[in-house]
A and B are shown apart, each in its own frame.
Chain A
């Protein structure tokens, strides 16, 4: 997957969790949680959706690496290559 494809996957998952989330002005280097009014319960949904869709297992210790859109891409890139 390309960087943009991965970004789109994340955005699509977020939209699915909260269809009213405004994704137009997201700063990719800022924490998603602060920009989107999400809490840790919603955050778990991103992890679980990735697991369901791409069978990638993200251990709890790695959650901080999914904090921003950019860091998601960095983290997921090698893992999604296989997918």
Chain B
């Protein structure tokens, strides 16, 4: 029977980063990935001879090379990837727009946001400065009980519109909780979105994934694809090993699961072990939040009708910005519109891309998908995409035409390809901040540990290996 000092469930960004970290110091590690491709939530597929990314709008946490303590540069050092080997394209600027009420632009220069707030919310300028000063003092990495970010932010900022506008991008880019979030998560996201900002690495997510995979392999890290873990075995409060979908049993000293907390619970087949792992049932600890993501490829002639300077637009049309599972299959009244061509210095392409995200109702999509009448799901998709297009047209001031190709994925698609229950992109609302479980050699990394997004999930993989496994045996 094979045995490894470390086994990792999942070849998404957190699993790859964790693997690199452990392999780097010469120890044997195996990543088991269920899917035939690496990347997890952030992967890619081919259509129309084009490579389409499943989950990349923008990478957060932009930092200049000389800023050595910035999360991005720390992460790269940890992975032993020289910063100068990467070409990063910064955003032009992004906008939060609540039409008819206010608009706030922000870029990788925090002063733009300060200036915009000064103009749109003159009465809140001083309290915003105090608020930012308080956040700067806040250490989100010290473990503490959850604090409501909504209450905290409102204790500084009296203007409810400003509060909602700040929450809009932050929630869309990383809240697993409905209508509120933990203050530590808020602080991490506020920094990574507003104070650091957005970029895209040169090329596509495939290049980034290959860079990580090659790095992992150069340290003799092992990875197997189409090799899902079906069951986790225990022995006296410890994990002894796993069984793969091919029926092989593999032993390990340590196990890191990046599959998600409720998803990992399902891998314990004995009721006792599942209970030891967690008392709450899987449904209860899954998030209710998921999204529909649409990708449009537009002919070059369309470019003159699209915004040329904005990289991402976060919008809300409702009287009150809400962030929860909608009653309808999707809620087009708020969303994110991303223009992947609008990053500084990106090459001109023959097609223009547009991506749109809305909150979605998992149950509604699941019901349609499971219906005997297979056309149900397709027609539901078609109907809601038309609704979405109308709204997007309103926001960008032109209807989207000349569509060469369009595709959208629903919470069911996300669940099918990443095994995230209910398509919960941001995982369970109950984060395992220290990564520990009731089994002394099983750790949770990635989305359900608490760091989100591309940089966040990689930092999670790195930190869990650093804190719990490296130099511990």
Contacts and interface: CB of A to CB of B under 8 A. Distances in A.
A39 B69 CA distance: 7
Given A37-B68, A52-B26, A18 B471 contact: no
Measured as residues with beta carbon below 8 angstroms from the partner, the interface class of chain A is 10 to 19
A44 B466 contact: yes
B77 A17 contact: yes
Contacts of B466: 41, 44
Contacts of A45: 78
- Across the A-B interface, give the 3 residue pairs with the lowest CB-CB distance, nearest first: A48-B25, A37-B68, A52-B25
B393 interface: no
Given A45-B78, A51-B471, 9 more contacts: A18-B77, A37-B68, A39-B74, A41-B463, A41-B466, A48-B24, A48-B25, A48-B471, A60-B471
Interface string B222-244: 00000000000000000000000
Contacts of A48: 24-25, 470-471
Contacts of B25: 48-49, 51-52
A18 B68 contact: yes
Contacts of A37: 68-69
Nearest to A18: B77
A6 to B, nearest CB: 20
A64 to B, nearest CB: 15
A4 interface: no
A72 interface: no
Contacts of B463: 41
Interface residues of B, number: 14
A19 interface: yes
Contacts of A58: 471
Contacts of A39: 69, 74
A23 B74 CA distance: 19
A49 B25 CA distance: 7
Contact of B82 (A19, A41, A47, A52): A19
Interface in B5-34: 24-26
Contact of B78 (A41, A47, A51, A60): A41
Nearest to A57: B471
Interface of A: 17-19, 37, 39, 41-42, 44-45, 47-49, 51-52, 57-58, 60
Contacts of A18: 68, 77
11 contacts: A18-B77, A19-B82, A37-B69, A39-B74, A41-B77, A41-B463, A45-B78, A48-B24, A48-B25, A48-B471, A57-B471
* Main DSSP-derived SS at the A contact region: helix
Contacts of B82: 19
B77 to A, nearest CB: 6
Nearest to B74: A41
Contacts of A17: 77
A72 B267 CA distance: 45
Interface string B83-98: 0000000000000000
Contact of A47 (B69, B77, B471): B471
A57 B25 CA distance: 13
B89 to A, nearest CB: 22
Contacts of A51: 25, 471
A27 to B, nearest CB: 19
A61 B26 CA distance: 23
Nearest to A44: B466
A58 B470 CA distance: 11
Contacts of A52: 25-26
B5 to A, nearest CB: 13
B442 to A, nearest CB: 21
A48 B462 CA distance: 14
A19 B81 CA distance: 11
B435 to A, nearest CB: 15
A42 B462 CA distance: 12
A19 B73 CA distance: 13
Interface in B41-97: 68-69, 74, 77-78, 82
B470 A44 contact: yes
